[in-house]
């Protein structure tokens, strides 16, 4: 077994939720009277906690307008937008294979809120896949490594026996900050060149490549 613990990012790594995130953020920005947001700018902040994402997307935004934008984004994401959010093809079967391995543990470290992650766990039945999870609103947002440190502590796994898998530099940099191995996936939002700067142990261009490597 290559790693005792595999920690996955969610959006852009396990679930193809990027189109919905972009659509909801664009609608929210218009309704909060901030103006139009470019697709590339929104993709850049996926993985951050929502307050941090809004601050980076909208430099200089005031507290009241930021709160309005946050509320409208949450509304659209939960009930106002019907863009589908499927798992990337092969994810469910591949995770099931990992779960069959003795002593293999799986976790999630995400920029979602706890309410948002629990909602998607319930909607997809995927909550039982994971032994632990951390969200940006219950600890520090990526790229700070606190959520990884907390998962390691909860599961009593040394850092050298764990790996972080993600599609953004935020995922990889939080792992690098505590000396954790990291795997980049290029089918998400950040470019291969940008991901390479974080010195990943492996770069996977599709789901099959990712899990072939994780399975050793």
The pLDDT tens digits of the residues spanning 44-71 come to 999 999 999 999 999 999 999 999 999 9
Residue 140's CB: how many other CB atoms inside 10 A? 16
Question: Would you say residue 80 has pLDDT above 80?
Answer: yes
Burial zone of 119 (CB within 10 Å; 0-12 exposed, 13-18 middle, 19+ buried): middle
Selection from 125, 159, 25 nearest residue 83 by Cα: 25
Q: What is the pLDDT of residue 156?
A: 98
- Kindly state the average pLDDT of the residues 64-85: 93
Q: What are the tokens at 14?
A: 């396990």
Residues 6+ apart with CB under 8 A from 132: 105, 107, 108, 151, 154, 155
**Would you list the domain boundaries of the chain?**
5-16+86-214, 18-80
CATH topology of domain 5-16+86-214: Rossmann fold (3.40.50)
What would the mean pLDDT of 125-141 be, rounded to a whole number? Answer: 96
Residue 1 has pLDDT above 80, yes or no: no
Q: Indicate the pLDDT class of residue 16, thresholds 50, 70 and 90.
A: very high
Give the model's pLDDT for residue 2. 84
pLDDT at 43 over 90: yes
18-80: which CATH architecture?
Answer: Orthogonal Bundle (1.10)
């Amino acid at each position: 077994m290559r790693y005792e613990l595999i920690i996955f990012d969610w959006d852009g790594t396990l679930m193809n939720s990027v189109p919905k995130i972009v659509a909801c953020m664009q609608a929210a920005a218009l309704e909060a009277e901030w103006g139009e947001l470019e697709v590339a700018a929104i993709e850049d902040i996926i993985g951050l906690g929502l307050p941090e994402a809004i601050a980076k997307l909208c430099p200089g935004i005031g507290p009241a307008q930021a709160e309005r934008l946050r509320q409208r984004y949450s509304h659209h994401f939960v009930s106002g937008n019907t863009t589908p959010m499927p798992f990337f093809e092969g994810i469910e079967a591949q995770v099931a294979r990992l779960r069959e391995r003795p002593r293999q543990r799986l976790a999630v470290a995400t920029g979602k809120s706890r309410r948002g992650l629990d909602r998607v766990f319930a909607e997809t039945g995927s909550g039982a896949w994971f032994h632990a999870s951390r969200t940006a609103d219950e600890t520090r947002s990526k790229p700070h490594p606190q959520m990884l440190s907390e998962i390691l502590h909860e599961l009593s796994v040394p850092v050298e026996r764990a790996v972080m898998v993600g599609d953004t530099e935020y995922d990889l940099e939080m792992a690098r900050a505590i000396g954790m191995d990291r795997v980049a996936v290029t089918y998400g939002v950040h470019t291969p060149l940008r991901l390479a700067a974080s010195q990943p142990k492996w770069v996977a261009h599709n789901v099959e490549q990712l899990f072939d490597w994780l399975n050793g």
